[in-house]
Amino acid sequence: MEMLKAVSIKKEYGERFALDIEHLAISEGEILTCVGPNGSGKSTLIRILSLLEQPSAGRLFFRGREVQNLKGRRRLEVLRQMSVIFQDPIFFGRSVYDNVAVGLTFRRLSRAQKDQRVRQAIKEAGLEHLERADVSTLSGGEAQKVAFARAHALNTDLIFLDEPFANLDIEARRSYQAIVKNALKGRGKTAVFVTHDISEAAYLGDRVAVINEGSIVQAGAPSEVLFKPANAVVARFTGMENLLDGVVSSSSVGILTVRVDGGTIQAVGEEKAGTRLILGLRAEDIGLVPKDQLRLPSSFRNSYEAIVERVEPAGAVTRVFVKCPFSLVSYVTSRSAVEMGIVPGERIGVRFKATSVHVMGSGF
Amino acid sequence: MKVILDVFKEAFLLILRLDSEFLSVLSLSILVSGSASILAALFGVPFGVALAEGNFKGKRLLLTLTHAFMALPPVVAGLVVFLILMRSGPLGSLRLIFTPASMIIVQTILAFPIVAGLTHASVSSVDPRYEIQARGLGASRLQAVVVKVRQARMGVVAAVIAGFGRVLAEVGAVMIVGGNIKSQTRVLTTHLLLYARQGKYEMALADGIVLIMLSVLINAFLTKAQFQRARTQIAQRITSYPS
């Protein structure tokens, strides 16, 4: 059953279009993550879906009931079936306990009911040791946990989370992501997450919607969005660093030969000769080998001799920029980079499978 | 120089003596300006909040008028209230002219725009995210407004302090509507004016010193309340939101 549905939602700020969503539905019990770069309209979308902001046009349905024009008591009634967690939590009281209780106070719950739910939420968020702590003394991560506990205590069926992990370091982020995911799934909640981090979106979401310039450019299962990006915008956003313009020069039994700038690449596809398209390649799918190895037989349909142009160590992995003669970026472990003696100006072998090449329609 | 020192000495002796006339002037000052400030706060704070948070027709006009009336000359306010309350005026039958009640009315009129205008300014400047966050946790519109007013409480208390300061120091309006009648409508400022005109500078100065002391004392009390309120309100659990 659909919990929330947005149809032809538009939001304009003056002349500027901030949001233009043709159709978006969230099923009961589903976690939808909206991912996109900064300024893509994700936060505006959350404010509109959660009834905190009016759309300029369009219709919004909550459990089948049209809600965007509700006023007063009726709007409040719907509003109280949702809760929203923002990136920078705003606190109202002094202690962690008071802040977790605030939404229940708004709902005028009895002291006993409130106490029981506040304690439960504090426990699930792992904040028991901070129950009496002053919120002004909390770290960014602790503050965000309080913000989550505050919404979780309300036990609403629908929860919106706007970049709830933004202020956390990687370690804290991972543990908190797991806490939130378990808490939501454990209670069968429906949630809409907003993040600019594709890996976070893929981990948390049952479904991922990629938003760019106010519109949804692709929505689907995390693996679909990650491995079958619908276009170059999504591909780039999901971390596909190599995008090449090309024209199909020949096509036979599902294998395309595509002419790209200065060379050819073999890919899997059914496009006809002459079709313009974009080829996408993940840096981690491109193998670097000593150039002598290229002569040995292998299952790689694409192999080239290349020159290392630039080397960027990034912790455990190293990004290697090569020219073969088109430019590519590859990841190798930093240990391999040292062992293979990969340095700028060195000649090296580059190879990747035809199945690693993502074929997308042209039109950036 | 010696003359001035003598005046000061006499003034302090007068204050220490606390004769009955002086006490009646002092208590009437507190009664009139205190009542006017409380009334101005009772009406001015909600009006200022409505100006900041309300969404109604004519809001901009009301705001402009409020700001204009913040600088209303007291003598003009006094004259208008006098014309309305004088025996032959439209409300003359109430027989309020030359009574402390008329003085409270005129001072309330003078303090009201200050309290309302400054309340509007402080509530308007609260970070709008407070309201959005409160609504996102299920606050009604009214509850969200209460959240904002609580955030603005320092400014709201400052607005009441400013209103009180204005009426305590005011002389023209109470002179016109009160008439400066001995033991009936004479307050510190009109008392001071009278003695200054008569050349009784030690008496006038005694009034002046007491006025300043009163202002310092009451403002110190309100400022203390302002900080204490801020502390205790945060310390308390939030349990008193309207539904």
Which CATH number characterizes residue A125's domain?
3.40.50.300
* Residues of chain A neighbouring B234 (CB-CB closer than 8 A): 93-94
Specify whether A199 is located in the same domain as A158: yes
* Residues of chain B neighbouring A137 (CB-CB closer than 8 A): none
* Residues of chain A neighbouring B150 (CB-CB closer than 8 A): 92
pLDDT at A294: 82
Specify whether A222 is located in the same domain as A149: yes
Per DSSP bridges, beta strands A31-35 and A190-195 are: parallel
Local structure of residue A89 (DSSP, 8 states): P
CA distance A105 to chain B (A): 6
Beta carbons of A103 and B137 less than 8 Å apart? yes
* Residues spanned by the domain of A320: 242-361
Residue B173 lies in a domain: yes
* Residues spanned by the domain of B117: 2-235
User: Among the three residues A237, A252, A280, which one is the final residue of a domain in this structure?
Assistant: A237
pLDDT at B231: 56
Q: How many domains does chain B have?
A: 1
Residue B206 lies in a domain: yes
Residue B175 lies in a domain: yes
**Which residues does B18 contact at the CB level (< 8 Å), separation at least 6?**
none
Q: Which amino acid is at A281?
A: L
Beta carbons of A106 and B134 less than 8 Å apart? yes
B147 touches chain A (CB under 8 A): yes
pLDDT at A24: 94
User: Among the three residues A237, A259, A277, which one is the final residue of a domain in this structure?
Assistant: A237
Beta carbons of A90 and B241 less than 8 Å apart? no
Report the alpha-carbon angle A67-A73-A76, nearest 5.
60
pLDDT at B112: 97
User: Among the three residues A190, A209, A237, which one is the final residue of a domain in this structure?
Assistant: A237
**Which residues does A107 contact at the CB level (< 8 Å), separation at least 6?**
A80, A154, B138
Q: Is the ipTM of this complex over 0.85?
A: no
Specify whether A200 is located in the same domain as A258: no
B55 touches chain A (CB under 8 A): no
Cis peptide before A229 (omega within 30 of 0): no
Specify whether A295 is located in the same domain as A216: no
pLDDT at B237: 35
pLDDT at A362: 66
The Cα B173–Cα A193 span in angstroms is 62
Beta carbons of A90 and B127 less than 8 Å apart? yes
* Residues of chain A neighbouring B148 (CB-CB closer than 8 A): none
* Residues of chain B neighbouring A76 (CB-CB closer than 8 A): 138, 140-141
Give me the residues of A, 82-111, that contact B with CB < 8 A. 82-86, 88-90, 92-94, 97-98, 101-103, 105-108
Specify whether A220 is located in the same domain as A269: no
Beta carbons of B241 and A105 less than 8 Å apart? yes
Helices A111-124 and A140-154 cross at an angle (nearest 10°) of 130
Residue B243 lies in a domain: no
pLDDT at A169: 82
Strand residues in A190-291 grouped as ranges (E): 190-195, 207-212, 215-220, 242-252, 255-260, 263-268, 276-281, 287-289
B152 touches chain A (CB under 8 A): no
Specify whether A47 is located in the same domain as A171: yes
pLDDT at A363: 52
Specify whether A210 is located in the same domain as A266: no
- Collapsing DSSP to helix, strand or coil, A257 comes out as strand
The Cα B243–Cα A15 span in angstroms is 38
> Which CATH number covers residue B63?
1.10.3720.10
Specify whether A138 is located in the same domain as A84: yes
Per DSSP bridges, beta strands A242-252 and A276-281 are: antiparallel
Specify whether A317 is located in the same domain as A270: yes
Specify whether A59 is located in the same domain as A188: yes
**pLDDT tens for the 243 residues of chain B, in order:** 777 888 888 888 878 888 888 889 999 999 999 999 999 999 999 999 999 999 899 999 999 999 999 999 999 999 999 999 999 999 999 999 999 999 999 999 999 999 999 999 999 999 999 999 999 999 999 999 999 999 998 899 999 999 999 999 999 999 999 999 988 999 999 999 999 999 988 888 888 998 999 889 888 887 887 776 555 544 433 334 444
> Taking chain A (364 residues) in consecutive chunks of 10 residues, what is each chunk's mean pLDDT?
92 84 94 89 92 93 93 93 90 89 93 93 90 88 89 93 84 86 89 90 92 91 88 86 91 89 89 90 91 84 92 90 91 89 90 91 60
Q: Which amino acid is at A195?
A: T
Name the helix (H) or strand (E) containing B111: helix B100-124
Among residues B141, B129, B154, the alpha carbon closest in space to that of B224 is found at B154
Beta carbons of B237 and A93 less than 8 Å apart? yes
pLDDT at A299: 83
CA distance A103 to chain B (A): 5
Specify whether A140 is located in the same domain as A163: yes
Q: How many domains does chain A have?
A: 2
* Residues of chain B neighbouring A102 (CB-CB closer than 8 A): 134, 137, 238
Specify whether A326 is located in the same domain as A230: no
> Which CATH number covers residue A305?
2.40.50.100
CA distance A318 to chain B (A): 42
Interface test with chain A among B126, B129, B135, B137, by most A beta carbons within 10 Å? B137
What are residue A347's DSSP bridge partners? Answer: A307
Beta carbons of B133 and A93 less than 8 Å apart? no
- Is there a contact between A263 and A242 (Cβ–Cβ < 8 Å)? no
